[in-house]
Amino acid sequence: MSAELVVGNIYSRPEIHQLVGGGDWVAYLPTKKNTVLAGCFDPDLNRRAPREIDVGRGDKILKRAKLLGNAKSIIPVFIKRSSNNWEYIGLYRCTAFSQEPRDINAYADRRKDAIGVLYFEESNVSTEEPVADTELLEFRAREGKAKLKLHFRRERSRDLIIAKRNEVRAEHGCLVCEACGVTEKSLPKSIGEACFEVHHKTPLSQLTSETHTRLADVSLICANCHKMIHRSEPMLTVQSLREKLRI
């Protein structure tokens, strides 16, 4: 990837083609020599972009999705803002590719032709989300076993996100950040949901043995507050950040 890419800048597809080192000019996963070079995602087709990307039918795109999911690559990601105008939003790591029915059917607004889902996270953000049942608010997930930690992180993240979001929506009618109070409804429709992340009240890094996590042990907060919490020293609690923001 070229160092000329600047977060927030708008690029055309020919410019992206040149800056990332080739690949297709129109595909949303431009690829060269069996390597996916970038992600170019249209929020009208992917309501949860860039966190989740709906993979449509077609042997070529399915092959590329599997390549990316298996490689767990870090790629530059662009979001379509208008015709041939793509905003560079940064580097994202593909954490998984799933064709499980539970993942494809997790949202009613998936693409009608979706046969899989690609999952991404910001490459410079450490997410620590556990498994949870979307129906059981007292569900406990096994966590903290170092040998399988990375595997569990990838497998569990989407389940807990769905469960926690369902809990918050049931209580408030929409997603709400527990720290700053920003709501899903106050954000652009195409990106509002993607701005919310699950935060462990007790970081998994502090665990010395395998344990269990309930939904009551995590908070739903916006990405900005999540970064502020993890970059503070000592690390702030959600409540202490909320108090600071209200001063």
| Residues 209 and 149 reside in one and the same domain | yes
Q: Do residues 106 and 155 lie in contact, with contact meaning Cβ atoms separated by under 8 Å?
A: no
C-alpha closest to that of 133 among 167, 171, 177: 167
- pLDDT over threshold 90, residue 178: yes
| Residues 81 and 176 reside in one and the same domain | no
Domain range holding 204? 125-247
By residue count, the chain amounts to: 247
End-of-domain residue from the set 123, 147, 168: 123
- Provide the domain count of the chain: 2
- pLDDT over threshold 70, residue 157: no
- pLDDT over threshold 60, residue 201: yes
End-of-domain residue from the set 103, 123, 143: 123
Q: What mean pLDDT is reported for the chain?
A: 81
The enclosing H or E element of 62 equals: helix 59-71
| Residues 45 and 88 reside in one and the same domain | yes
Q: Do residues 127 and 121 lie in contact, with contact meaning Cβ atoms separated by under 8 Å?
A: yes
C-alpha closest to that of 201 among 139, 130, 138: 130
Rounded to 5°, the CA angle 21-23-24 comes to: 145
| Residues 105 and 190 reside in one and the same domain | no
Task: Report pLDDT for 237.
Answer: 93
| Residues 169 and 81 reside in one and the same domain | no
Q: Tell the residue number behind the tokens 């665990």, with chain if given.
A: 207
- pLDDT over threshold 90, residue 138: no
| Residues 138 and 85 reside in one and the same domain | no
Task: Report pLDDT for 127.
Answer: 36
Return the structure tokens found at 22: 């080739």
The enclosing H or E element of 157 equals: helix 149-172
Task: Report pLDDT for 116.
Answer: 96
> Exposed, middle or buried: residue 60 (CB in 10 Å: 0-12, 13-18, 19+)?
exposed
Alpha-carbon distances, residue 79 vs 9, 53, 89, 124, 139 (angstroms): 11, 12, 7, 19, 35
Q: Do residues 43 and 49 lie in contact, with contact meaning Cβ atoms separated by under 8 Å?
A: yes
pLDDT, mean of residues 230-242: 89
Task: Give me the percent of the chain exceeding a pLDDT of 90.
Answer: 48
| Residues 103 and 165 reside in one and the same domain | no
| Residues 170 and 230 reside in one and the same domain | yes
CATH of residue 28:
2.30.280
End-of-domain residue from the set 123, 142, 169: 123
